[in-house]
Amino acid sequence: MDFKKIEQKWQERWEKERVFEAVDFADKPKFFGLIEFPYPSGVGIHVGHLKAFLSMEAICRMKRLMGFNVLFPIGWDAFGLPTENYAISHNIPPRVATDTNIANIKRQIKSFGFSFDWSREIDTTDENYYKWTQYIFSQLYKKGLAYRSKALVNYCPHCDCILSNEESQGGICDRCSSSVEQREKEVWFLKIRDYAERLLNGLDSLDFPERVKEETRHWIGKSEGAEIDFEVRAGEEKDSLTVYTTRCDTIFGATFMVIAPEHPLVDKYKEYISNIDEVEEYKAQAKKKSEFDRVQLNKEKTGVRLVGLNAINPLTKEELPIFIADYVMMGYGTGAIMAVPAHDERDYDFAKKYNLNIIQVIQGEEGGDLPYTDIDSGVMVNSSFLNGLKVKEAIAKMKEYLSEHGIGHAKVNFQMKDWAFNRQRYWGEPFPIVYCDKCGTVLVEDLPVVLPEMKEFKTNSKGQSPLAEVDSFVHTTCPHCGGPARRETDTMPQWAGSSWYFLRYMDPHNKDIFASMDKMKYWGPVDWYNGGMEHVTRHLIYSRFWNMVLFDLGLVPFEEPYRKRSTVGLVLGEDGNKMSKSLGNTVDPMAVADQYGVDVVRMYELFMADYESPAPWSSENIVGCKRFLDRVERMADFIVDKPISDEHVSLFNDAITKVTQDIQNMKFNTAISALMTTLNVIYQDKYISREEFRDFLTLLYPFAPHFSEEMNERLSLGDMLCKSSWPTLRVDNSEKKVNLPVQVNGKMRGLVIIKENATQEEAMSALLGDEKIKSFITGDVKKVIFVPNKIINIIV
RNA sequence: GGCGAAGUGGCGGAAUGGUAGACGCAUCAGACUCAAAAUCUGACGUAGGCAACUACAUGAGGGUUCGAGUCCCUCCUUCGCUACCA
């Protein structure tokens, strides 16, 4: 079969028939299947993209035949650093690079015959799209969820750019893998932390894989504890120092305090600290250390005592020394802790090193070596009114005590930080913000704020966005007072456009709003969203956050945007390693498609392994799929004109059931193997009816649509498959036989063939008629375990 | 260090607690062919046996069960995610 020809032919036919265009408000059950829209990089499509798309492709192709009104859209997540860097190094405008890259990847994707609704294609860099990204930002701003402040942030010196926490996990820049530094910058933050609790609780009702939920929960990092105020004495001055702890029960064991090197207390009481030089030196060193160094495991604890400052334990009234140490982070809790060396490993190490007092306040059950950190056993000692209580009781009692005496209160903390939202870059959405000398920070209501065209895109030496160099952009008038004003020159991060794109698909051409309520009510929420694990702690959280904010504003009719999420396993290189240019183990899907045809590539990517597991590519194994299609083609030789036999009724009923279930459960590998098994039986039997052949091709259609359509047409089996319906089961009149395994004393000793749902008596008489099995039954039968149609086990 | 997933033939991988190795690749043999390729048919976990068959076998060791790749405990290894979480 000339696959090039039929690929083109069927792609044209499908397009002409417009069978993949979703119809708004159609009177059918709707199904919104979503794949993560690709970033149009210069490299083009890779096998990972295809695999991620192919699952939803198979599901959507099947769902349409099942009578669903399917929305399966595609678009381009096209703002971002790689394009900007590419544009700089090749000296072409990002706009041009983006357009070229989109044209290229679009041609590639189209060549694989995906059933996307191209009439809803979106591009995040299109003015008509980013106008609404800016609009949503202004909604956040008006609601007080966007604020600007000077802060220590993750900064990538290589990209000259601020990174959010999500983009700098492990102290490494998401984009260029350089080490991230901490720098003080003017930062736009989005208050995602206000939504932490809802983002966490919302997970319970969602059909997400457990590991996705676990990673999300871990990233949000909810912790329940207490804030406690300690009095600080500096000479005659008194102040207070608030610490955060999850173990307020251990306060009687607190023997010193530790604050982060950046903690403001140091500067405030500089003149009272007699060893201030040593302290400043330590601070300087801590600042120099990269995130990675600070986080190195088993690293020796270091710190410096603030000589001259002391804290008072509010319970014991004892005076405690204060240290700065880099094992306490300014970004978590209050940046200060009470150290309880007897019951915290880090405090213990520190106390040992600096010879500090250790007071045990919990007696462990067995022995209880220090530091003793278990909270599920042990009783309080040396702790006044807590003595004798179990740890959890003591925590509860102490929380009460703290608030009653006004020295503290219960407090919930989250690991997740607010979202650093500006980038010193050109290729992103401009903020709808101007700074006016008179009116301050003012929102621009007239959208879009258009990204101006530029010739030079380098970050300037002041670490500003290239936009700062464009006078016509920077200098504007205040929309409020009409006076002179400057525009915000930073742009939004890559994640902005993708935080709401699924909404736009529901109503992509709307000029009045990002999407109309009616259409969102019809299409939303997304029924099934497939994508990579790498987006769990980034895009998935961001987009749920934005959707929740829009929901609260009454602009979106559902609180959670995605009902169901599934994940795609990585396609590894042939050597079992992650594909990378440097290892030279990448696979070019276009070249493979050229050799075998796109249907074979489509099938192989789904057949190679369990869909959600990572699996190595094999240039040898792919021929199995090629041969399979060739065998299906030759199966036409077995077509006979005779009624369907009982055996074939059940053969096809099994295939239909298996393929249908497996596609719905994303078990594509076993769905395809069920088709192969069915084919092998036909080859044994050497006959197949036309009706069965059509069923077979329909089952194959979600995986190999060009091939299936072509065979269907050549054999004149019926209307185009894309317009037909999913096969249904035939009435099975045959008396079903099952193979019943027979065990004696739990060991397999043979098989008997009996009718389905046979009783234990029938099974016994059948197996006693088998000489071989009978020979194993020596002695009295003590017990028989019989599971109908499954097994019979005889204990002698 | 914490959380999560996983370890099954030469390889990719199948198995609601019930015939371990489906399906595919590779390999071997037969048919077709002058021959090769393609195709069709068959064999293919390990050991012993001509064979029927028997024993052993799902990272290691224990346990639960009539029965364990699957459940529980201990350990080893690999891969993700996270990282001094106060």
Contact A460, A466 (CB under 8 A): yes
Percentages helix, strand, coil for chain A (3-state, rounded to 5) are: 40, 20, 40
- The nucleotide whose C1' lies nearest the CA of A344 is B86
Strand partners, A150: A186
Q: Could you write out the DSSP letters of every residue in A567-608?
A: E---EE-TTSSBP-TTTT----HHHHHHHH-HHHHHHHHHHS
The burial of A297, by beta-carbon neighbours within 10 Å (0-12 exposed, 13-18 middle, 19 or more buried), is given as: exposed
- The nucleotide whose C1' lies nearest the CA of A534 is B81
* Residue A297 pLDDT: 44
Distance of A623 CA from B34 C1′ (whole Å): 29
Distance of A747 CA from B55 C1′ (whole Å): 13
Distance of A578 CA from B47 C1′ (whole Å): 39
Distance of A335 CA from B75 C1′ (whole Å): 40
Protein residue closest via CA to C1' of B67? A746
User: How big is the CA angle at A320 (ends A319 and A325), to the nearest 5 degrees?
Assistant: 160
User: Residue A10: which H helix or E strand, with range?
Assistant: helix A3-17
Contact A145, A101 (CB under 8 A): no
Distance of A618 CA from B29 C1′ (whole Å): 27
Q: How far is the C-alpha of A311 from the C-alpha of A320, rounded, in Å?
A: 5
Token pair belonging to A308: 């001259």
pLDDT digits (tens, 9 = 90+) for A154-178: 787 777 777 777 777 777 777 677 7
Protein residue closest via CA to C1' of B6? A613
Q: Which of A768, A754, A621, A781 is nearest to A791 (CA)?
A: A754
- The nucleotide whose C1' lies nearest the CA of A747 is B67
Q: Could you write out the DSSP letters of every residue in A731-749?
A: P--SPPEEEEEEEETTEEE
Complex ipTM value: 0.95
Q: Is the peptide bond before A614 cis (omega within 30 degrees of 0)?
A: no
Q: Which of A427, A440, A435 is nearest to A467 (CA)?
A: A427
Strand partners, A487: A434
- The nucleotide whose C1' lies nearest the CA of A785 is B66
Torsion of CA A386, A391, A397, A398, to 10 degrees: 80
Contact A701, A57 (CB under 8 A): no
Distance of A652 CA from B51 C1′ (whole Å): 38
| Contacts for A455 with CB less than 8 Å, ≥ 6 apart | A93
Distance of A260 CA from B1 C1′ (whole Å): 21
Cβ-count burial A240-259 (b if 16+ within 10 Å, e if not): ebebbbebbbbbbbbbbbbb
CB atoms under 10 Å from CB of A143, counted, come to: 13
Distance of A576 CA from B60 C1′ (whole Å): 25
Chain B bases closer than 7 A to any CB of the protein: 1-5, 11-16, 18-20, 22-26, 38-42, 53-55, 66-68, 79-86
CB atoms under 10 Å from CB of A312, counted, come to: 17
The number of residues making up chain A comes to: 796
* Residue A293 pLDDT: 56
List of chain A residues with pLDDT < 70: 175, 289-299, 365-368, 456-462
User: How big is the CA angle at A281 (ends A324 and A180), to the nearest 5 degrees?
Assistant: 80
Inter-CA distances, A301 with A151, A323, A327, A350, A465, Å:
26, 12, 7, 6, 39
CB atoms under 10 Å from CB of A728, counted, come to: 9
Q: What is the 3-state secondary structure (H, E, C) of A497-537?
A: HHCCHHHHHCCCCCCCCCCCHHHHHHHCCECEEEECHHHCC
Protein residue closest via CA to C1' of B81? A215
Which long-range contacts (C-beta less than 8 Å, at least 24 apart) are formed by A21-29?
A: A21/A117, A21/A119, A22/A69, A22/A70, A22/A71, A22/A72, A22/A73, A22/A117, A22/A120, A22/A523, A23/A69, A24/A519, A24/A522, A24/A523, A25/A518, A25/A522, A26/A69, A28/A67, A28/A68, A28/A69, A29/A67, A29/A68, A29/A69
Token pair belonging to A745: 């004393």
Phi, psi dihedrals of residue A120, rounded to the nearest 5°? -110, 15
What three-state secondary structure class fits A188?
strand
Q: How far is the C-alpha of A220 from the C-alpha of A235, rounded, in Å?
A: 41
Cβ-count burial A168-196 (b if 16+ within 10 Å, e if not): bbebbbbbeeebbbbeebebbbbbbbbbb
Q: Which of A147, A117, A133 is nearest to A77 (CA)?
A: A133
Q: How far is the C-alpha of A284 from the C-alpha of A197, rounded, in Å?
A: 36
Contact A125, A132 (CB under 8 A): no
Distance of A314 CA from B68 C1′ (whole Å): 58
User: Residue A654: which H helix or E strand, with range?
Assistant: helix A646-664
Contact A36, A535 (CB under 8 A): yes
Whose tokens are 């357009």? That residue is A99
CA A677 to centroid of chain Cα atoms: 35
* Residue A758 pLDDT: 85
* Residue A460 pLDDT: 57
Distance of A103 CA from B38 C1′ (whole Å): 39
Token pair belonging to A535: 């987006």
Q: Running DSSP on this structure, what letter comes out for residue A86?
A: H
Q: Are strands A747-755 and A181-190 parallel, antiparallel or unpaired?
A: unpaired
Distance of A727 CA from B67 C1′ (whole Å): 38
* Residue A366 pLDDT: 64
- The nucleotide whose C1' lies nearest the CA of A246 is B86
Helix A646-664 and helix A668-685, axial crossing angle in degrees, nearest 10: 170
Protein residue closest via CA to C1' of B25? A621
Q: Could you write out the DSSP letters of every residue in A111-180?
A: HTT----GGG-EETTSHHHHHHHHHHHHHHHHTT-EEEEEEEEEEETTTTEEE-GGGSGGGB-TTT-PBP
- The nucleotide whose C1' lies nearest the CA of A615 is B12
| Contacts for A118 with CB less than 8 Å, ≥ 6 apart | A15, A20, A74, A110
Cβ-count burial A545-575 (b if 16+ within 10 Å, e if not): bbbbbbeeeebbebebbbbbbbbbbbbbbee
Protein residue closest via CA to C1' of B14? A670
- The nucleotide whose C1' lies nearest the CA of A211 is B4
